[in-house]
Amino acid sequence: MSDCLRDLSWLPADGYLIVVEHAPQLLSSSAEDQRTLFRILSGAVHHWASSLDRPGVPFKVLLLCDRDEQAALLRQKIDSAVDA
């Protein structure tokens, strides 16, 4: 996944947006899997921000969820950060 997100030469753009629908289902896996996912996504963001070929290309990730699921996702993020 990391390689795919860092090599988008086949899809040149001024910026990239990854939209994850049903984010709670994706993030319901283990805390270790969540950390791995966020590490990969964060790495892609940093890669595009500092790319030698095209520095400063925006790469954003949007996690979609219902309003009532938002608090639970934020708790998971905080809990994952504490466990790290």
Higher confidence at residue 37 or residue 54? 37
Q: For 22-41, what is each residue's pLDDT tens digit? A: 888 777 767 788 888 889 99
Tell me, what's the pLDDT at 68? 79
For the cut 70, the answer to whether the pLDDT of residue 84 exceeds it is no
Full residue range of the structural domain in which residue 36 is found: 2-83
Domains contained in the chain, number = 1
* Residue 80: band (very low, low, confident or very high) from pLDDT cuts 50, 70, 90: low
Produce one character per residue of 3-40: b if its CB has 16 or more CB atoms within 10 Å, e if not.
eebbeeeeeeeeebeeeeeebbeebeeeeeebeebbeb
